[in-house]
A and B are shown apart, each in its own frame.
Chain A
């Protein structure tokens, strides 16, 4: 039997004005288990807390009921007080007689009666309280960043700068991501490579960072502070530590006609290749689907010209297992496929391109060495039509396109239009828009410059149809302000394709038990207040995997995610919330119902031997809750049909005791 002390607070007149505190403490004194009951002007004051500590010592109290303001206000305070008095902090229950009683009722009689009932409920609960100790788990002081674009690079650099080890896993042969493919960046027009490649080099040279390029994450186990991750290093048939990146093999490779992914298939690369000059790691990779030697054992030219002896045709995929304390997802985006958008003739004409392809066409390292030439005939286009919102802002039920705004298209289209007019003033540039959205520092100024200084024709309306005719593209569109239908004979049409999360994100989310929205963007723990954390503890979000973002925003989020990771890794031990679920293994059926409702993946199953009444032993599958991962919502307790799952601090018997006390 508990020895319970009841402490009724006046809160000045806040409570005492509508509740007869003396009557409350008198009434509660008669409840079973209550050995001490008093009231005081301000329980939360130092004097009030001292009163509690003294009473605990004097009366050997084992549980405390404080009738005061909301537990959201002072529960933590009184738990500390209990601890000071030598009690377990979880032996305290608060009866909220201010916010939910004295402040909402006007008559003393009614307020007093209700306060007594609330006090009784708290007493009934504290009878069933048990001392709780938060679990502790160690933290592996190493972070994993999945994705090596600008988001992943920035996050990794910031974490490494704080002195922690970081590994980057990138599925392509080089880090750099989409930003490496861009020409200039808005709104300042610095060249993407000039600002990105130094960062890539920083990463490569940073002692705290390891880069696993051409690799992917295949398995994630464990929980915050203690993830066990398996990384598959795909065979690139070149020894990474030996290859010097000289490029002799690339020059000599006879299999030259393979679409170059880096230039979005607009030119070709050999079977052995280095994606671009500043690639990190600058190491060749053999495409096993293109290489003759790997396909049928005939060739071997690259091995012969490689003076370093780096080529290894027998290389196998390698699996690396590593422990991490935190995981950052930075899987990025891709433009959506234009296959379903027949009306723009993307598949019929080479001269209808996406904006990312346009970037490559204007990039000095691109397929045309930076000259803006039509992909079909290499001629200079004289009339270019840009179409915005292709596949963005579509109806949720539409068969094609995405419901959201892709956010970056308005600005890069203005950039493309401006750069075109700047380099080729004789080119006519039309931009068809629905709305021009430019919220960002210096963004609207940038767009206005495109119109006012560079004479880009912005037309409010949408392109309905593009028809190839001879070497022209007939663009039929509406001009809503002039109330006209236009027909423009363009040479080049550029589609601002919507962007979508990378396809690797969905299986990764499953591995991480991190939640996603219907568009496959990762969900943040709170849309406003915890934007870079996933609801799954220890998993953080960086860049476009969480939603469309431009570079400045991506970099800010990347650094924010790094700050969160550092805040986690700097701890030696993680202290959990002790109010968590726990399963009574003797009653557990192993049915998986609890596992299916757990938002955190905190529940796993083990086969365990049980001694039976007849002295035999029996193997049974039972649920186990990982105390470091469980957040204590209680969803599992209701999903469990046998009642094996219960929640500490809010156990079924405690809640029912409260119900009984209230209804008595």
Chain B
């Protein structure tokens, strides 16, 4: 259960709308089901009262929406940012992707979001509704008479279990408290893969990436993928590709996508959240982040506005490409 209440967010949003301090509110709204919460733009109090949602399913990172919304909307936009969203927010500002003056950012604490896949694993298909209560989720399914109670903690998303920071690095105002940068174990899985043999790694990724259906959800949700035109959509780029025809093209897309966001990815984990095929795409990004930290010193994209991303920077005595595998024989 989230510590800050939905009511306090709605109250704040309505107050700002009515005082004409902002002209729109970027918030969460119920989708077809209780658990597929989608981002939505609110412009009046009634809509907010009725449809604004804030619960354990509000994982969506709003930073990326600001790129388009700040261009289309007159006046300021109020947005709510969880700690991990603030990093993307800063990174986009570093890249001049939206006008900071057009946003009123309110930092809100986050207790971690749940993973619907884990809930489905626990209570099966046919979920009719889910109610978020203190520490438990009450899941009503079509096949059970009574709601099933699941402890929230047991179904937290992987990215939240390995949360890197509870600290808001950007906001105009805080509702509730901000936290600290955390010691997380987010690179454990990367290291587990690194410890495998090359054959095992190849088999692992072959299996994962072969499921890719090129729905582009990872790209569309990624706050670092805000290109006016993606190279994969550009017939002149030489890599234009709408659907992967074979395993090479599956790899090509994901390698290039990860490389293009390397040093800019804040590790928000949205790519893996939205992947309908449950490919652990965030591992590719984390591999880059982990390498960057090891090779060039710790760097967190988005920790501050204006910092120089590692791939557009260098030192005179950087590691050579031939030295990166030293001390590893697998």
Contacts and interface: CB of A to CB of B under 8 A. Distances in A.
Contact of B227 (A587, A653, A656): A587
A621 B316 contact: no
B261 to A, nearest CB: 8
B96 interface: yes
A643 B260 CA distance: 10
A642 B238 contact: no
B308 A589 contact: no
Given A518-B316, A593-B312, A653-B236, A642 B231 contact: yes
B312 A589 contact: no
Of the listed residues B94, B228, B234, B316, the one surrounded by the most CB atoms of chain A closer than 10 A to its CB is B228
Nearest to A652: B238
A597 B312 contact: yes
Contacts of B229: 586-587, 642, 644
Given A618-B71, A643-B234, A643-B237, A596 B228 contact: no
A591 B97 contact: yes
B309 interface: yes
Given A618-B71, A642-B229, A589 B238 contact: no
Nearest to A659: B238
Contacts of B316: 518
Contacts of A588: 228
A459 B261 CA distance: 61
A596 B95 contact: no
B230 interface: yes
B288 to A, nearest CB: 13
Interface string B15-53: 000000000000000000000000000000000000000
Contact of A589 (B71, B226, B237, B261): B226
Interface string A200-218: 0000000000000000000
B252 interface: no
Contacts of B228: 586-589, 620, 642, 644
Interface string B258-297: 0011001000000000000000000000000000000000
Contacts of A653: 236, 238
B311 interface: yes
Contacts of A656: 238
Contacts of A337: none
Contact of B260 (A587, A590, A596, A641): A641
A604 to B, nearest CB: 13
Contacts of B311: 639
A596 B313 contact: yes
Q: Give the secondary structure class of B's interface.
A: loop
Contacts of B234: 587, 642-643
Interface in B246-262: 260-261
A592 interface: yes
Contact of B96 (A592, A596, A652): A592
Interface string B199-240: 000000000000000000000000000111111001011100
Nearest to B225: A641
A589 B234 CA distance: 14
Nearest to B312: A596
A593 B96 contact: no
Interface in A623-664: 639, 641-644, 652-653, 656
Contact of A596 (B230, B237, B238, B308): B308
Given A639-B311, A652-B238, A592 B227 contact: no
Contacts of A586: 228-229
21 contacts: A586-B229, A587-B229, A589-B226, A589-B227, A589-B228, A590-B95, A590-B96, A590-B97, A591-B97, A592-B96, A593-B312, A596-B308, A605-B96, A618-B71, A620-B228, A621-B96, A642-B231, A643-B231, A643-B234, A643-B237, A653-B236
Interface of B: 71, 94-97, 226-231, 234, 236-238, 260-261, 264, 308-309, 311-313, 316
Given A586-B228, A643-B231, 13 more contacts: A518-B316, A586-B229, A587-B227, A588-B228, A591-B95, A591-B97, A592-B95, A639-B311, A641-B264, A642-B229, A644-B229, A652-B238, A653-B236
